[in-house]
Structure 1
Amino acid sequence: MNGPPLADRILGGWSGRIAGNMLGKPVERGDHWTRDRIDRYLRATHALPLTDYLPEPPPDASGAGFELRPEWRECVRGRVHGSCRDDDVDYAILALHLLETHGFAFTTEQVGELWLLRLPFRQTFTAERAAYRNLVGGLKPPLTATYDNPYQEWIGALIRADVFGWTSPGDPRRAAALARRDAVLSHTGNGVYGAMWAAALTAAAFTAAGPRAAVETALERIPASSRLARVVRHVVALHEAGVSWPDALTEAERETSGLHWIHTLPNAAVITAGLLYGAGDFSRTIALTVRGGLDTDSNGATAGSVAGVLCGASGIPRHWTDPLEDRVRSAVFGFDGVRIGELAERTLALSGPGDGTERELSAN
């Protein structure tokens, strides 16, 4: 593995995920905050091109349709003091706790048990809330994913996958297998493939020459005939053909038209475009991803995680990480206020040789 050492890359993954999440959080509402509206906001606040956290809204924000999410006061430029609480970070913490508690041979049932023990019901959404309700009702996987759950292919499982990549550096096959075991608690089809792809993408970033290589390696871990694979390959082809970033996203929107803004497919297109057109530059990657709209905080988090692994924490400009103050707010019981550095150290402890992962995976 060339470039930054493993510890720096894992810290980069955590820091990048949290920073990308914070960047996208104020405009997380894809049916309102379209690409056009986000860029109009940035022009109105003299923040285009976007190189830092979003600026505060202008005085006439409501009249211009620029209402940010209620949490904006904790995650706009100059107001960030530690990370906001968000499910995109909660699930990463929960996955780390899962591996520390049950090891790499964890079962899907144990994922559900940990949700009930550590995660408040009202901090779950869409597919996760449906699965949580089904768990409380006594159902077991895979019924927890299919009963009364119209969100089976939405983005929830994808946002839970990064830790499986961070603990499988350079081994996307292992990462995808772990992510699948987690994802089937709440998702099916492309919802599960999205988690496998994200975990493989994060794992591949440790050894890939750049974002394009990581994206292509991750594609090998999901069915080539799946709609997710077709969407990602289409964005790759548009980038390779020299199509501009906005035109590539417009084409991807046509391909995924009719799907909800939290569905896995359109969001995977936005993440892929952000990584490819960001070209390994951390700031450009998360800025383009968030400007791509849809589930902005989740997409910013995943792109930030991959970009952070690629460049390492030492390669992330400090104006993204210093305001985080090495501190995370979390709804996961027992983890509120935990240090980002501690999370990275605990992840590193699971990522080295001798953890028994290969034996445990082969036994499953």
Structure 2
Amino acid sequence: MTPSGMPTEPTEPRKNPRTADRILGGWLGRIAGNMLGKPVERGDYWTRERIDRYLRLTGALPLTDYLPEPTPDVVRTAEFELRPEWRQCVRGRIHGSCRDDDIDYSILGLHLLETHGFGFTTEQVGELWLLRLPYLQTFTAERVAYRNLTAGLKPPLTATYDNPYQEWIGALIRADVFGWTCPGDPRRAASLARRDAVLSHTGNGVYGAMWAAATTAAAFTAADAREALETALGSIPASSRLARTVRRTTALYDSGLPWADTLTAMEEETGRLGWIHTVPNAAVITAGLLYGGGDFTTTIALTVRGGLDTDSNGATAGSVAGVLCGASGIPPQWTQPLEDRVRSAVFGFDGARIGELADRTARLAAAAPGGATPR
């Protein structure tokens, strides 16, 4: 009430400019990392060795920009099969981001929080999928969950019925928005991510989402990626295979082992799980963040060169690195080609401005209860 007794107008929570810059950095980093990895997304074909051979033949090592398009010599060898969308996401051809589910789910998560608030239910996540997300733009565990929803099943059966993909990477790629909206509060971010993830995943599939959200949230207050990763481990079961994999990757980094040797060791330990499983991809993301040494370009370049689910891994590592350095710290070769535009299959969001999405995310972060004050 005012002194005169008249009710006051509701006021919008005040955004912290530094936090807003970091949230924009997360969005830009996620999109740039996704675009970098998209042409070589297919881990059973695009191995680390094949990716680096392509980069050498096209004169792109060290990798400091988006992937180059194949030269005539490379085309003649017929040795490389880029993803069909490669013409929209190689250097010199990018005009805004191309559509990808790694970005669709960030947008859908933002819409979820704007529509239902931080108290959303898993059932509401499913309802929003049916309303806003085309079925044919879902894959693996998400497509199974979508089909189960249309058959009338409710969570957690949507995740477990006839679903061989329960521990694959799909829930992890949906998690960043929960970290962006809980800056400095990794446990709360992980709790939100879990509520979303159990619609389609179980076990390490759920822990992967919690870990990604917690790492992203921790990056707002952490001194570096190492601290963010270590803090995030407190939000998932210490005995889980995911937690053990992240700790093992970190231990190899601490021992002074070169990046490539660390990934070789982790591949020997986790490779049998498959290239879309959460656990081996978490090792690639962890290594990229650690060996990236705080440099945005090095982080996403190493992560994508690490292979497996390259676009998803590049997106997650790019998000964390973007939060750590802020939008103002991301080199322009990554952001300028995006032209502040994002393509999306989410109804009502195709062609949205990245800056507007980030601003809406920052408003949610400012309104969120609790959390630490980002530095």
TM-score by length of 1: 0.96
**Cα deviation 1:264-288 (Å, max 9, x = unaligned):** 0000000000000001100000000
Structure 2 letter corresponding to 1:41: Y
Residue in 1 that maps onto 2:299: 285
Query: Which 5+ residue runs of structure 2 have no aligned equivalent?
Result: 1-15
Percent identity of paired positions between Structure 1 and Structure 2: 81
Give runs of aligned pairs for residues 264-343 of structure 1, distance below 5 A.
Answer: 264-343=278-357
1:235 to 215, 236, 249: 249
Is 1:54 the counterpart of 2:67? The answer is yes
CA distance in 2, matches of 1:4, 1:11: 11
- Asked whether the 8 Å contact 2:182–2:368 carries over to 1, the reply is no
Is 1:81 the counterpart of 2:95? The answer is yes
**Cα deviation 1:85-119 (Å, max 9, x = unaligned):** 00000000000000000000000000000000000
Q: Which has the larger radius of gyration?
A: 2
> CA separation of 1:133/1:168 partners in 2, compared to 1, >3 Å: closer, same or farther?
same
**Cα deviation 1:11-70 (Å, max 9, x = unaligned):** 000000000000000000000000000000000000001000000012233634211001
Residue in 2 that maps onto 1:361: none
SS of the residue corresponding to residue 77 of structure 2 reads coil
- Shifted more, 55-64 versus 316-325: the winner is 55-64
Q: CA deviation at 1:356?
A: 4.5
Aligned CA RMSD, in angstroms, stands at 1.2
Residue in 2 that maps onto 1:31: 44
CA distance in 2, matches of 1:62, 1:133: 42
Q: CA deviation at 1:355?
A: 3.7
**Cα deviation 1:314-346 (Å, max 9, x = unaligned):** 000011000000000000000000000000000
- Asked whether the 8 Å contact 1:4–1:311 carries over to 2, the reply is no
- Shifted more, 251-260 versus 120-129: the winner is 251-260
SS of the residue corresponding to residue 258 of structure 1 reads helix
- Asked whether the 8 Å contact 1:74–1:84 carries over to 2, the reply is yes
CA distance in 1, matches of 2:127, 2:164: 22
Residue in 2 that maps onto 1:45: 58
**Cα deviation 1:283-318 (Å, max 9, x = unaligned):** 000000000000000000000000000000000001
Structure 1 letter corresponding to 2:28: S
CA distance in 2, matches of 1:348, 1:41: 39
Residue in 2 that maps onto 1:103: 117
Q: CA deviation at 1:203?
A: 0.1
Is 1:21 the counterpart of 2:21? The answer is no
Structure 2 letter corresponding to 1:93: I
- Asked whether the 8 Å contact 2:36–2:89 carries over to 1, the reply is yes
Query: Which 5+ residue runs of structure 1 have no aligned equivalent?
Result: 359-364
Q: CA deviation at 1:83?
A: 0.1
Give runs of aligned pairs for residues 123-272 of structure 1, distance below 5 A.
Answer: 123-272=137-286
